[in-house]
Structure 1
Amino acid sequence: MASRILLVFFAALHVSVNVEAQVAGTISGYIRDESGAVVPGVDVKATMLGQKVTRSTVSDETGFFNLLAMPRGNYVIEAQLPGFATERSTAELTAGQNLRVDFKMNLGQLQEVVEVSAAAALVETRSATMSGLVDDRRVQELPLNGRNVVELARTLPGITDVQASQEMGSTRGGPTLIVHGASRGQNNFTLNGSNFTNFSQTAGFNPPPPDAVQEIRVQTSTFSAEYGNNAGAQVSMVTKAGSNDFHGSVWEFHRNDKLNARSFFQPRRPKQRQHQPGASAGGRLLPNKLFYFGSFQALSNRAEAGSSQALVPTDAQRLGDFSGLSTALRNPVDPITGRAFADASGASCVSANVINPNCISPAARSYLDRFVPRSPTGVVVKLTPSPLDAYNWVTRFDYTVSARNNVFVHYFRDHYHRTSSGGNIDYMNQDSLTDVKQYAVTDTHTFSPAFLNEATYSFMNAQSFVQATGRVPPRDMGINLDEGYLGVGMSLNVTGQFNLNFPGPERQGYRNWHWRDTMTLIRGSHTLKWGYEGMYVNFDLVRGNGARSATFTGTRSGSAMADFMLGAFDNVSFGFGAADSFPLLWKHQAFFQDELKITPRLTLNAGVRYEPWLPWKQEFGRYTSWAPGVQSVVKPDAPPGILFVGDAGVPDKTVEKDLNNFAPRIGFAWDLFGNGRTVVRGGYGMYFNHISGTSVHAAEAPWTGTVQLFSGRIEDPFGSLNRSLPPSGVPISGEFGCVKINQFPGLQCPLYPLPLNFVYNWRWPRPRFTTSISHSSVRLPTT
């Protein structure tokens, strides 16, 4: 476990806001009369224009009002008090924004209305949090290659690198970004307040298309105790929602190869046909009560990748005639007998750069006849097709149960299917399929204007499959090897000539159950917030360790192609057993924070987050340890020295749990002149990092392994070297271990401690400028 400590002190006229909730925001401000005196007891009402959601409150004795957990949108805010004219202001509230709207009450009748537009303060005066917003205008108008809106985060200060591809590729893919020098795997993603982070890889999932996204907010440092899971940025994405008015869009993006050029090495211009149609629509099902929004986008890409060149045997070489080769061939030697290769009659296999036809490998003939094309020049140039089909949709429903209760749900799905080629010769294509689904519901209940609860539950299910488009059993090709666990064919690499790659099958399954409940209470000058966040993560990785590959380098005869024709391999790698992994993770977290308005110009934010670390565990306890000479009691048939969970001193996890992870957070915001234009901020916080699920993905003995063979015959790799075949399927125990090796007999391997690292940031943003000066450093433990 790693923690991050941030120290930030700056003076700013800066649009930086505190995220009071994952999706909702806050509207607050001060009410004064014409003389500048504060006005208590003013009725303040905010009405969202799109859905007519209304919230009310009353200003306190300091003239301050605070409307909590307001959905993002455009609002009309009214202030009313007998003896004064009604003040009315319009403003837009973005997701997580702490919007300040001040009123100046004028004497008059309530029927008199004073209209004020865009009265929101441009500077956040209540928070030390640094954040940036990619609003709807940027989402719609900025150029975006690939239409992944996370890519737009690079427009925000402090973000130095963003990787957000058009497709995820697998459940361990997804967007990442580097914020203020922190690792790209230290960010937490949310969609409409629900967890959207892939904790098996600590990356995000690909979001809905730009036409379905309202905005993205990235908190980059000193965020409050409400936020955890990772020490880097908090990336909050919000979809559009329906309203009383119908709105929609239709689009089609098209790319082709008409203006593309052919490179010098390509025989022709690569084909490209890409279509990306889509549509979105939002409106009402019940006026002022039930609203819907939906978006669908498809992607069809028929493009050819860059060219690859293969050198294949000429017609003469297929018959064994290498007389055109300038290099003199030699007859390989059998490493077991020490004798040169010869046919059944005793004739030499290689003479005067010609291979004896009786010595040509039947396996080589099989692969040549079935997969390797003929070429009079011996050169084959290939433009590799890589078709991609994908679709992405999101649906959202918002329901106003009552004036005190609002509920919204969303369903998200992202689906990819790509076929790619293996090697520079058409041999066996690879099918890759990824399917991501999320269901989420959020309920906001207002018990009183000063007390409310927000609860969110979500379930993420992501599956990916990789497999070959067909089967080529090695024995069908004349090689005495089976397909192994899950069915894996043979990969052949003729160095400097051509390669035939067989993709290994793999299934990944990621499931995340996430729930969070937050309470907010206003008591005088205190805004108290506390809550709980829980998570259960299950990650399955099923991949047979059955990779089989043979390499022909030319070390046997002087020519890699001649080695292949003779079946004289330099190296064969043979995997066996099962490399399956089923890690599980529980997370339980709680927080408490207080926003204290010490004076109308000075706000103090203080809190603490409790984030205990409960380590990843294998679902079947598949961990092992090493103690030379010690016999396992759990598995007495295992080789001496290998111990299992249940044996003395062997833990069921790879790291110690850490139950004292208390993360204090404190910050202040000082409105220097009281006019909301110049703010001095400072902040300190400790943040804990999550350990990704890949830390327990290891293929180790005794349930899986790899055998390396050297200088044998491809027809019978093991038999030609007097070796016996290892087991290829799943052993009876069917288990998998992450081995920790101890060099000294009698000592058990200790659990790894959780180190702390520290990241310090200092920042001085300047008024009205985007320039900032920053410093970041990391201190790692020495032991």
Structure 2
Amino acid sequence: MKRIASGVRFLAILLAVFGILPPTRDSQAQSTTDGAVGGTVTDQSGAVVPNASVAAKNLGTGSSSAGTTDGSGRFLIIHLQPGTFSIEITATGFAGFKATSITVEVGRVTGIDATLNVKAQTETVVATAEAPVITTDRADLTSNINDISINNLPINGRRWSTFALGTPGAVPDGGFGLVSFRGVSGLLNNNTVDGGDNNQAFFAEEKGRTRISYSISESSIREFQVNTSNYSAEYGRSAGGVVNAVTKSGTNRMHGEAFWFYRSSDFGAFNPFQTIVPRPPAPSTPIPVKPEDKRHQFGGNIGGPIIKDKLFFFFNADQQKRNFPGVANASSPAAFFAPITVAAPTTCTPLPPATLTEGQTLFCRGITQAQTDQALGFLQSLTGVVPRTGDQLLLFPKIDWNIDAKHHLSLEYNRMRWSSPAGIQTGGVVFRGQESFGNDFVKDDTAIARLVSTLTPTMINEFRFQYGRDFEFENTQGPIAGEPVSFKGISPQITISGSAGIVFGKPNFLDRRAFPDEHSYELADTFSISRGKHLFKFGADIIRFHDLNDNLFQESGAYTYSKRVDFISDYVAAVNNFPQPACTTTAPGGTPVPVPCYSNFNQGFGPTAFEFTTLDYGLFAQDDWRILPRLTLNLGLRWDYEKLPDPQIPNTLLPATSGFPSDKNNLGPRAGFAWDLTGRGKSVVRGGYGIYYGRIINSTISNAITNTG
């Protein structure tokens, strides 16, 4: 507690110190949702022009922001919604200056250096200034993916965050769509959309995880920024990379688009490693197979004014229809489909060790040829083509309201529904029975309200609220004809190992009635103020995650057979109501005792559902200080704290299970510099140091709650 108080006192001291500095506009800008314009105003002789008025107008919405140059002729206008702007600069004794088509991107400052002429009429400069390729005012390593790149770069699946792989320091993390920055686990990244948390706390991935196609439509995303390293204290809850996305909005001009993408396996080549083996009596030579996979992705959006310059709407709809049937097969088809001829051996007693054929073993267990053929027919019915689809629907309405010249309110809602019968197993050929693929479903809902208030020309406040629900659940398919089931009509998982390997029945990890059902609530506030050569930012955020996890591993039991003949023996005994099992073991004294033929059985017991709550707190202070015209220092301090729940089933024999440790001293200093070598924005030397804290993922907390020894 002492360390927390020290951190809060330190932030208070920063506020007090920064508050006494004289105000101007020259500093740098960084934001999770907005951009900025800045530059220097001079006259024809090269002398700086102080106290010049600068106005930035959003050409899409008509909203305006204003500022003035300081004693060094520099200006900075922050918290501009990404888009296209016009810039007007006026000063006493000079002709006006106007630049059009100025692009503002998220998290960046677009530079505008103006020269004012001494003459009576306004000079209009037709300019198409883009955000800088190289940022010379920040220590962090960032890359921006704008709408042009999103619309034109090729991508498989339309998951917009995959474009992050095209940025420096980013590589795939495993085969399920995660991204690693600087070699750090993809579970330690942070993903935000319009400033709101876009992470699932339970598995530390994007909402919806990576089995779905995407949780937010690519057509809803205007642009996003990838922060790879040395990022400011504004960004927390991450030791890897930070991805900030902003969505599209309506403007004064009615606009929209429609799209349809079709991808088919008919257009692809054969994979030489994707093969199947025909059933006997056909030759057991592997032959190439090209699994069917046809995907339609279609939708559109529209945006425009409700009240010109005042109220705007945007709506996007996105749907996917995918048909990708799978093939259920055994790992060794030749052995699995091999026929069995039941025949009498020379002797069954005493039972010779491993000298009997499968047919002789079955004969000695009292199983006939007809019963054997019945069991083989059932096993063969487990294989074949499995119908499998992956369909989803996304809806995204958004309202932007310029309440007045000083207040802007944004309201948005994202709805995603994913349904994939037999879609848990996604491989082309799966070594499971037809009824053992598992059904996958996801429901995602996110609502964000964001209010930006310009308190004075040098003081801006942003308040944000978000509610989200990420509900993921999976269940089993129904049993096939002839499959033994329990009194509840459910087949346990059955594994036949050895040379004829296959797994069928209800998978041992199902049902997952909630895995998880996660509700999140976020409150955040950021205050920005320009003072002297500084841009200060102070902020606080709190996120409440409530997780329900309803799943019991092996709740329906799991049998393992080391050989095919052992399963056949138990199968025949079950479906024919044998009075006793077919296998025997020797009891003490040498008496043979009938026993089932499986080699192992596991059963899960106990409560199936656990729910708990975590609270994430964050405080930060950031100072971007332009100490020299070509040298900028980025200084900050952040405090993160994750409040863990209390244990629910403590083990009295293990005192350590009665409570979780609480780490309250997560103070993360950030310090960096950016030096413009030539002053022309062509070359920059940057460096930085920071301490970053990733959160403890909630699945780890869940394991600690349930696995108490």
Distance 1:570 1:207, change over 3 A: closer
Please point out which of 530, 533, 539 is paired with 1:525: 533
The yes-or-no answer on 1:22 pairing with 2:32 is yes
Residues in 1 aligned to 2:492 and 2:98: alpha-carbon distance in whole angstroms: 75
SS at match of 2:325: strand
Question: Any idea what the Cα deviations from partners look like across 1:521-580, whole Å, max 9, x if unmatched?
Answer: 11222222111111111111111341412222239x7x6645754451122222222343
Paired amino acid for 2:674: A
Which residue does 1:186 correspond to in 2? 188
Which residue does 2:626 correspond to in 1? 597
SS at match of 2:162: helix
CA contact (8 A) 1:530 1:592 kept: yes
Please point out which of 420, 428, 448 is paired with 1:418: 420
Which residue does 1:214 correspond to in 2? 222
The yes-or-no answer on 1:60 pairing with 2:70 is yes
Question: Any idea what the Cα deviations from partners look like across 1:570-612, whole Å, max 9, x if unmatched?
Answer: 2222222234332321111111122222232222221211113
Count of paired positions = 624
Which residue does 2:585 correspond to in 1? none
Aligned pairs for 1:315-354 within 5 A:
317=340, 321-323=341-343, 352-353=360-361
Shift of 1:142: 1.1
SS at match of 2:148: helix
Distance 1:150 1:361, change over 3 A: farther
Question: Any idea what the Cα deviations from partners look like across 1:10-61, whole Å, max 9, x if unmatched?
Answer: xxxxxxx976111111211111111221111100000111111100111111
SS at match of 2:552: coil
Distance 1:149 1:363, change over 3 A: farther
The yes-or-no answer on 1:83 pairing with 2:103 is no
**Which structure exhibits the higher relative contact order, with contacts defined as CA atoms closer than 8 Å and separated by 6 or more residues?**
1
Which residue does 2:707 correspond to in 1? 738
Residues in 2 aligned to 1:136 and 1:548: alpha-carbon distance in whole angstroms: 51
SS at match of 2:47: coil
Unaligned stretches of 5+ in structure 2?
1-26, 208-213, 279-288, 573-581, 583-595
The yes-or-no answer on 1:237 pairing with 2:281 is no
The yes-or-no answer on 1:548 pairing with 2:557 is yes
Please point out which of 474, 487, 511 is paired with 1:505: 511
CA contact (8 A) 2:639 2:667 kept: yes
Shift of 1:269: 5.7
The yes-or-no answer on 1:657 pairing with 2:662 is yes
Paired amino acid for 1:46: A
Please point out which of 691, 697, 700 is paired with 1:695: 700
Which residue does 1:398 correspond to in 2? 400
Shift of 1:435: 0.8
Question: Any idea what the Cα deviations from partners look like across 1:205-229, whole Å, max 9, x if unmatched?
Answer: 3442322221121011111111101
CA contact (8 A) 2:191 2:197 kept: yes
SS at match of 1:153: helix
Shift of 1:454: 0.5
Question: Any idea what the Cα deviations from partners look like across 1:697-744, whole Å, max 9, x if unmatched?
Answer: 339xxxxxxxxxxxxxxxxxxxxxxxxxxxxxxxxxxxx64326xxxx
Distance 1:235 1:328, change over 3 A: farther
Which residue does 1:624 correspond to in 2? 650
104-113 vs 128-137, which deviates more? 104-113
Which residue does 1:752 correspond to in 2? none
Distance 1:583 1:366, change over 3 A: farther
Please point out which of 444, 449, 452 is paired with 2:460: 452
CA contact (8 A) 2:238 2:692 kept: yes
Paired amino acid for 1:194: G
CA contact (8 A) 1:18 1:129 kept: no
Residues in 1 aligned to 2:71 and 2:269: alpha-carbon distance in whole angstroms: 72
Shift of 1:86: 1.2
Shift of 1:696: 2.4
CA contact (8 A) 1:552 1:563 kept: no
Paired amino acid for 1:500: F
Question: Any idea what the Cα deviations from partners look like across 1:345-375, whole Å, max 9, x if unmatched?
Answer: xxxx999555268557999999777x5457x
Unaligned stretches of 5+ in structure 1?
1-16, 166-174, 334-338, 341-348, 375-379, 626-631, 633-640, 644-648, 700-735, 741-783
Distance 1:75 1:367, change over 3 A: farther
351-360 vs 115-124, which deviates more? 351-360
Residues in 2 aligned to 1:63 and 1:696: alpha-carbon distance in whole angstroms: 54
Which residue does 2:635 correspond to in 1? 606
Distance 1:259 1:28, change over 3 A: closer
Shift of 1:407: 0.9
CA contact (8 A) 2:52 2:89 kept: yes
TM-score by length of 1: 0.73
Please point out which of 389, 394, 406 is paired with 1:387: 389
Percent of paired sites with the same residue:
23
Residues in 1 aligned to 2:680 and 2:290: alpha-carbon distance in whole angstroms: 63
CA contact (8 A) 1:185 1:203 kept: yes
Which residue does 2:411 correspond to in 1? 409
Paired amino acid for 1:75: F
CA contact (8 A) 2:342 2:368 kept: no
Residues in 2 aligned to 1:59 and 1:532: alpha-carbon distance in whole angstroms: 30
Residues in 1 aligned to 2:80 and 2:360: alpha-carbon distance in whole angstroms: 87
Distance 1:113 1:467, change over 3 A: closer
Shift of 1:451: 0.7
Question: Any idea what the Cα deviations from partners look like across 1:60-97, whole Å, max 9, x if unmatched?
Answer: 11111111111100111111112211112231011111
Distance 1:92 1:290, change over 3 A: same
Please point out which of 231, 234, 243 is paired with 1:223: 231
Distance 1:523 1:270, change over 3 A: closer
Shift of 1:265: 2.6
Which residue does 1:301 correspond to in 2? 322
Distance 1:482 1:230, change over 3 A: farther
Paired amino acid for 1:670: W
Which residue does 2:592 correspond to in 1? none
Shift of 1:191: 0.6
Paired amino acid for 2:511: P
CA contact (8 A) 2:435 2:479 kept: no
TM-score by length of 2: 0.80
Which residue does 1:33 correspond to in 2? 43
CA contact (8 A) 2:35 2:109 kept: yes
Which residue does 1:674 correspond to in 2? 679
154-163 vs 83-92, which deviates more? 154-163
Distance 1:329 1:419, change over 3 A: farther
Which residue does 1:646 correspond to in 2? none
Distance 1:542 1:272, change over 3 A: same
SS at match of 2:62: coil
Distance 1:331 1:222, change over 3 A: farther
Residues in 2 aligned to 1:315 and 1:527: alpha-carbon distance in whole angstroms: 76
CA contact (8 A) 1:89 1:119 kept: no
Residues in 1 aligned to 2:92 and 2:336: alpha-carbon distance in whole angstroms: 96
SS at match of 1:242: coil
Residues in 2 aligned to 1:92 and 1:516: alpha-carbon distance in whole angstroms: 27
Which residue does 2:12 correspond to in 1? none
Residues in 2 aligned to 1:694 and 1:269: alpha-carbon distance in whole angstroms: 37
Shift of 1:260: 5.3
Which residue does 1:134 correspond to in 2? 145
SS at match of 1:355: helix
Residues in 1 aligned to 2:65 and 2:396: alpha-carbon distance in whole angstroms: 28
